Structure 1
Amino acid sequence: MNDTPTGTTPTGRPSDGGRTTVRAAGALAVRGRALHPGDEGFEAACSGWLLTVRHRPDVIVEAADADDVAAAVRYAADTGRPVAVQSTGHGVSVPADGAVFIATGRLRELSVDPGAGTARTGAGLRWGEVLAATAEHGLVPLCGSSEQVGVMGYLTGGGLPLACRTYGFAAGHVRSLDVVTADGRLRTVSPESEPDLFWAVRGGKSNFGVVVAAEIELLPLRTIYAGDLRFPVEDAGQAAHVLRSYLAWAKEQPEEMSSSVTLMRFPDAPQLPEEFRGRSLVLVRVVCMGDEERGARLVEPLRALGPGGDTCRAMPYTEITGVYQDPRNPVMVHLRSALTYELDEEAVAELVSFIDPAAPGGPFPGIELRHLGGALDRPPVRPHPVSTQGAAFHLWLRIPAPPDKADEARRTADEVLRRLRRWDTGAQLPGFLFDHDAAPGRVGRAYTEENHRRLTALKAAYDPDHLFRINHTIPPR
C-alpha cells in the first residue's frame, strides 16, 4: 500500500492510480514510494545496519510488490543506471552511488506449510520473524547468528548456519526462488525450472537479479543444547592455553556439534561495564543438535578449563540467535574475513598477541574462528556455488570504526590478516566479502575456479549489460 494520500507522491507530485511516478526520462509508476535526494525519508530509506557504508543513489524505490521491483529494474535498464538492492543492509559492501536503489523491506509475505515442512518468505523478512512463525508448528529454519539479518541476503550469500557442521549451507535447503532478472521478468527458479539460474543465485548474491521470495525447507526441531563459555584472561599464556585447548577439542567433535571461539580485548573505557573494562576475554560458543545429556557430555572438556561464565544449556531453538548476542541496532564497524587451514602453535601465538593484556594501547579487534567441516564438506542435495574450499575455520574480524577511527580500523584488519597469512587458504565465503575483498579482482576468491567460470558465463546469459553490479561483482564473460 502507498503511505501517502491517493493521487500524490511523498513530495506532492501527481501520480497515476495511487502509483508514485519517478521523475526522469522513461518515467516509472510504482505502488510503493519513489524517493530522490532531498525528499523526506530518503536518507533513512537507503541507510542500513552497517553504517560504515553510505549510499548516494539517484532514486530509491521502496517496492510494495514484485511488480514494483520489475518496474524499477526496467527503469534502471532504460536510463542506463545500475541496480542496487537492500533489505536490512547487514551485508552491504559497495556504495550504491548513482544507482536505482530497490528497498525490499515491504515484501513481507510469510506462510508455513507444516505438511510439506516448508515456508515461503518475502524479501523483506528477517530471521527472527521466520523463527517465530515456524516454531508454532515445531519447525525451524537454518538461520545464522542474528535474528535481525534479512532472509534473502543471507540465502543468496550461501548462508552459514549456526548448525553448519550438521546441515551444511542454508543455500542447499532452498526449494525455489522468485527472482526479477535484468530483462524485468519475474521468474520462479528451482531444480526443475531454470536450474542454472537457481544454482547461481544461491551464492551469487545480487549479481543475477532481485530475489523477491523464497521457499525454504524447515527442520523438525524444538530444542537444542547451546550457549557460551567465557574465559577472562589475565595474560597471554592463559589465553593461549584456552585457545589451544579449544582447537584440540574442536578436532574431536562429531558433526552434531558446531562451535566458534572469539578473542576480544576491551579498551579501558568508562562506557563499558566494569567486568569488561580493560580486560581480555576468550569466548567459546557451542550449538549442539543432540539432547541435553549428549550436549553436556561433549562440552565437559571445555568446562574442565574453568570458565568464568557458562550459559550452556538445553534451550528452545527459537533462542538460538541469542547465543551470539549480535548487535540489534545499526553499528559502525569494519568487517573482514578469511578461510584458514588448521591452526598450529605459531598461529595460536599470533592470535593471542592481539588480545595480550600486557600490550600497550589498541587496536582492539574482535577475532572469531568458526569451526567448519562436517556437512559443509559434502556435496549438497541441491548444488550451489558456495563451498569452504577445504578450510578448517572461518575467520571473522569486527573492529569498531567511528568516522575518526575508520582508517585505523582498516589498517588493523590488514595487519591481522597479514600476520595470519601463513594459515590463510586464500579463499573466502561470498556472504562475507567486505571493503576491498569486494573489489572485482578479489571476488573470484569466494568460489572455486570452476564455479567462478560458470558464474561469469551465466552472468553473460542473464545480465549481459552488467545491470546488477552494486555488489561483490561477478562480471559477464
Structure 2
Amino acid sequence: MSLLRPGDPGYDDELAGFQTGFAQRPDIVVPAGSAADVAAAVRYAAERGLPVGVQATGHGLPGPAEGGILVTTRRMDRVTVDPEARTARVQAGVRWGQVVAAAEPYGLAPLNGSAPSVGAVSYTLGGGLGILARQFGYAADHVRSLDVVTADGRPRHVTPESDLYWGLLGGGHTLGVVTELEIGLVPVRTLYGGSLAFDGREVGPAAVLRAYEEWTRTVPDGLTSSFAAVPYPAIPGLPSRLRGRYVISVRVAYTGADGDRLVAPLRRIGPVLADSLREMPYAESHTIHSDPDFPHAYYGDSAVLSELDTDRVAGLLARTGPEAAAMCVVQINHLGGALAEPAPNSVPYREGTFLVRLLTTADRERAREILDPAFGLLAPVTLGRALNFALGAGDRGAGLYDAGTRKRLAGLKSQYDPANLFRRNYGVSG
C-alpha cells in the first residue's frame, strides 16, 4: 500500500476530480489499486482512529474535508461482462462510459446515468436514477452482489441474503468501502431519445413546465423524461445557439416503437430551438442530456416530491432564472413506474412522483442563499432529499432517509462501524 502526504509529488494530482469548488486535504491519500490496498488502508485508519473517505471520480463529494485518510479508487477500473448471464462485474473506479462500451457488443446495457464520466459504484450505492429508470427502476435494484471492506478491515462478499446488502444499496459509503459490484444488464441495443429545447424568454419556463406536467400524466411507465432550465451566460466559449439564451428543454428516453407519437404534444408547446429526438444506439444515450464533461465548481441539492405543484416549482424557476445572483441549473425528473416498486435495499421515497434538482455555480455561502429559499418553496410537497444529488451544500444527513429507513441504517452502522470510521461520507454519519 502506497501513501501520499501533503507536499509529496503526486498528492495534488491524486486529489483532482470533477468537483473543483472545494478541497479535500487529507493527511494521507491511499491510491488503491486493489481490494487488498483498500483493506490495508482501512486497517491503518482504524488502528489510529482516523476518518476514512472514498473518491473515484469526485463528482459527488459531500463537502470540503481536512485530515484523515482518503482512499482513491480510480486505478481499480476493470469491467468484465458475462453476456450469457447478462451481468457485469465493475471495480470501484470504473466510469459508466466504460460499462456501456463493454456491454454494447452483446446488445446489452447497464442502468447508467446521463454522464459517462460518473463512477458506476458510488452512483449505484446512492440508488442510481438512470436514463431508463421508469422502465427498469433504480440501478441499485439490479445489483447481484457486492465486495466491500468494512470498518474492521475485513473484505466481505455480500449477497441479497445479508443485511449489509440492504444497507449498502442506498446507504452509500457509510458502512464500508465497496471495491466491486456485480450488476444486472438489460437487453437494450437502441432507444428513442433526445431533447426538445425552447427559448425560455419566448415561451416561458412556467408554460413549458405546466405542459410537461400534463404530458407526464399521459405517458406509459416505460417512458423516462426530465425537464431542465439553464440560463447560459453570454461568453465566447459557448456555441452561438446557446450563448446568452435561457434554454428550457424536455429530455426523453424510451425503448418503445411509438416514441414520435408520444412526444407529439411536446412539439406543440411552442417554437423549438432544437429537436434531437431520434432512434439511436444505446451507446449514444449520453447525448440526450449532454452533461458537461469538464471539471468545474458547483453546489446543489434536491427534493423528492409527493406531487409536482407547478405553482411552487414555477416560483423556484423564477428565483433561479437569468436574473439569479449566480448561474443555476434546474432539472426535474419524472419518477414513478418501476421506481415505485419495492426492492430489498435502502433506497427511500419510492412513493415520490418527481425529483427536483438544483445546482449553482455560486460559492457555498451564496449557494445557500439561493438553494434554501428555493427549496423552501417546495417544503409542503417534499418527502426528502436524494443522496446522489446532495452536492456539498447542505446538512450531510438531514432528509436523506425516511424515519424507518434511517433507524435501520443506524442499527447497521452501530453493528458494522461502531467507531464511525466512515464519517466523511453522506448517510447516517451526519
Is this a same-fold pair by TM over 0.5? yes
CA shift, 1:209, in A, is 0.8
2:395 counterpart of 1:395? no
If the length of structure 2 is used for normalisation, what is the TM-score? Answer: 0.95
If the length of structure 1 is used for normalisation, what is the TM-score? Answer: 0.86
Aligned residue for 1:52, secondary structure, equals coil
2:370 counterpart of 1:439? no
**CA shift digits 1:399-457 (9 cap, x unpaired):** 113xxx543233112232123333333x11222223353434x1xx2222111111110
After TM superposition, the structure 1 = structure 2 runs for residues 159-174 of structure 1, keeping only pairs within 5 Å, are 159-174=128-143
**Whole-angstrom CA distance in 1 between matches of 2:114 and 2:321:** 27
CA shift, 1:355, in A, is 6.0
User: Is the contact between residue 349 and residue 402 of structure 2 (CA under 8 Å) also seen in structure 1?
Assistant: no
The letter of the residue matching 2:378 is: L
2:272 counterpart of 1:318? no
Partner of 1:281: 247
User: Is the contact between residue 94 and residue 471 of structure 1 (CA under 8 Å) also seen in structure 2?
Assistant: no
Partner of 2:262: 298
**Whole-angstrom CA distance in 2 between matches of 1:79 and 1:318:** 45
2:52 counterpart of 1:83? yes
**Whole-angstrom CA distance in 2 between matches of 1:275 and 1:432:** 28
2:366 counterpart of 1:408? yes
Aligned residue for 1:234, secondary structure, equals coil
The letter of the residue matching 1:391 is: G
Aligned residue for 1:422, secondary structure, equals helix
CA shift, 1:269, in A, is 3.8
User: Is the contact between residue 246 and residue 261 of structure 1 (CA under 8 Å) also seen in structure 2?
Assistant: yes
The letter of the residue matching 1:260 is: S
Aligned residue for 1:254, secondary structure, equals coil
CA shift, 1:354, in A, is 3.5
2:244 counterpart of 1:241? no
2:404 counterpart of 1:455? no
The letter of the residue matching 1:396 is: R
Partner of 1:261: 227
User: Which runs of 5 or more structure 1 residues have no equivalent in the other structure?
Assistant: 1-29
After TM superposition, the structure 1 = structure 2 runs for residues 19-98 of structure 1, keeping only pairs within 5 Å, are 30=1, 33-98=2-67
**Whole-angstrom CA distance in 2 between matches of 1:281 and 1:436:** 25
Question: How many residue pairs align between the two structures?
Answer: 429
2:159 counterpart of 1:201? no
The letter of the residue matching 1:325 is: S
CA shift, 1:177, in A, is 0.4
CA shift, 1:473, in A, is 4.0
CA shift, 1:475, in A, is 4.1
CA separation of 1:207/1:366 partners in 2, compared to 1, >3 Å: closer, same or farther? same
The letter of the residue matching 1:55 is: Q
**Whole-angstrom CA distance in 2 between matches of 1:452 and 1:362:** 35
Which structure is larger by alpha-carbon Rg, 1 or 2?
1
CA separation of 1:91/1:352 partners in 2, compared to 1, >3 Å: closer, same or farther? closer
User: Is the contact between residue 145 and residue 162 of structure 1 (CA under 8 Å) also seen in structure 2?
Assistant: yes
Aligned residue for 1:437, secondary structure, equals coil
After TM superposition, the structure 1 = structure 2 runs for residues 373-384 of structure 1, keeping only pairs within 5 Å, are 373-380=336-343, 383-384=344-345
2:427 counterpart of 1:466? no
**Whole-angstrom CA distance in 2 between matches of 1:238 and 1:94:** 34
**Whole-angstrom CA distance in 2 between matches of 1:420 and 1:319:** 34
CA separation of 1:302/1:275 partners in 2, compared to 1, >3 Å: closer, same or farther? same
2:303 counterpart of 1:338? yes
Partner of 2:87: 118
CA separation of 1:297/1:176 partners in 2, compared to 1, >3 Å: closer, same or farther? same
The letter of the residue matching 2:387 is: P
User: Is the contact between residue 263 and residue 283 of structure 1 (CA under 8 Å) also seen in structure 2?
Assistant: yes
**Whole-angstrom CA distance in 1 between matches of 2:321 and 2:183:** 44
**Whole-angstrom CA distance in 2 between matches of 1:365 and 1:66:** 39
Which structure would you say has the larger RCO, counting Cα contacts within 8 Å and 6 or more residues apart? 2
CA shift, 1:356, in A, is 5.9
**Whole-angstrom CA distance in 2 between matches of 1:338 and 1:409:** 16
More displaced stretch, 408-417 vs 125-134:
408-417
CA separation of 1:227/1:246 partners in 2, compared to 1, >3 Å: closer, same or farther? same
2:380 counterpart of 1:422? yes
**CA shift digits 1:86-139 (9 cap, x unpaired):** 110111113342111111111122211111111111111100001101111111
User: Is the contact between residue 232 and residue 281 of structure 1 (CA under 8 Å) also seen in structure 2?
Assistant: yes
CA shift, 1:246, in A, is 0.7
The letter of the residue matching 2:366 is: E
The letter of the residue matching 1:266 is: Y
User: Is the contact between residue 65 and residue 107 of structure 1 (CA under 8 Å) also seen in structure 2?
Assistant: yes
**Whole-angstrom CA distance in 2 between matches of 1:407 and 1:451:** 31
**CA shift digits 1:323-371 (9 cap, x unpaired):** 11111121111111111232345225414423666x5x64431111000
